[in-house]
Amino acid sequence: MYKYETHLHTMEASACAHSTAAEMAEKYKAEGYDGIFITDHFFNGNSCIPYDLPWNERIELFCKGYENALAKGREIGLEVFFGFEYGDGGSDFLIYGLDKNWLLEHDYILEMELTRFLELARSDGAFAVQAHPFRDYPYIRATKHCPHFVDAIEIINASHPLDTPFNFRAAEFARWYDLPVTAGSDAHNTTDRWYGGGVESETPFKSYKDYAEAVKSGTLKLLDRKN
């Protein structure tokens, strides 16, 4: 089996992260993972990228987490894939399959209504997953659920304690709308996290498309944290 992390953050681009991309890559390699998806918070989430820079400079800085992880991954033998977490208030969406060039060319996406953005991204080949759709914290005033505008639902988010109802509600939501399901750790550093989250596949991922197809086919083993 091949093990992949689908949801993680780096301090290069996510304000809430406390480990560098290279440190994250090294830790996941040490934990037996075959690959990771870098999904830093985009500018409408908890981003550490200065908002007053020109768009192209912001994108260059935003992509440093992925690029640094990719360089380290090539050095240590770990597959690294690009993604980002697009925010809308209390709702978050993991977007896979787009790249730096796409972001550079779409400097208006922060001005788009959420479902219009999801339509655009998916029409351009993105695989969209709603992350932790029922996370409930005091700072979240409201959440939006978009079952008709995503490809799958994250029903295991391993950063949540095992006894919270968040994941259970997400699983029920996916079942109600007959949507494919996936899992991720939502890791923000190499120390204060619970290893074991993500997915296992019988075949390796060479691109995000392999991951997307595996999710849609229901062939993945979803992993929760070990402790």
CATH of the domain at 32: 3.20.20.140
pLDDT at position 196 over 80: no
Radius of gyration of the chain (CA): 16
Residue span of the structural domain in which 20 resides: 2-223
Q: Are residues 49 and 61 in contact, defined by beta-carbon separation less than 8 angstroms?
A: yes
The overall pTM is greater than 0.85: yes
Hey, what are 47's tokens?
């981003």
Under the banding of pLDDT at 50, 70 and 90, the label for residue 183 is very high
Residues 6+ apart with CB under 8 A from 113: none
Instruction: Kindly state the helix (H) or strand (E) to which residue 100 belongs, with its residue range.
Output: helix 100-105
Neighbours of 145 (CB within 10 A): 15
How far out from the chain centre does Cα 223 lie? 15
DSSP E strands: which ranges in 118-201?
A: 127-131, 152-157, 181-184, 198-201
Task: For residue 221, name the pLDDT band (cuts at 50, 70, 90).
Answer: very high
**To the nearest whole number, what is the mean pLDDT of the chain?**
94
CB neighbours of 57 closer than 8 A, spacing ≥ 6? none
pLDDT digits (tens, 9 = 90+) for 109-120: 999 999 999 999
Residue 4, amino acid: Y
What is the Cα–Cα distance from 164 to 38, expressed in whole angstroms?
25
Helix (H) or strand (E) holding 94: strand 91-96
What is the reported pLDDT for 137?
76
Mean pLDDT of 190-199: 77
Q: How confident is the model at residue 189 (pLDDT cuts 50, 70, 90)?
A: very high
Q: Which residue has the tokens 């999904």?
A: 39
pLDDT band (50, 70, 90) for residue 141: confident
| Overall number of domains in the chain | 1
What is the tens place of the pLDDT at every residue in 8-21?
999 999 999 999 99
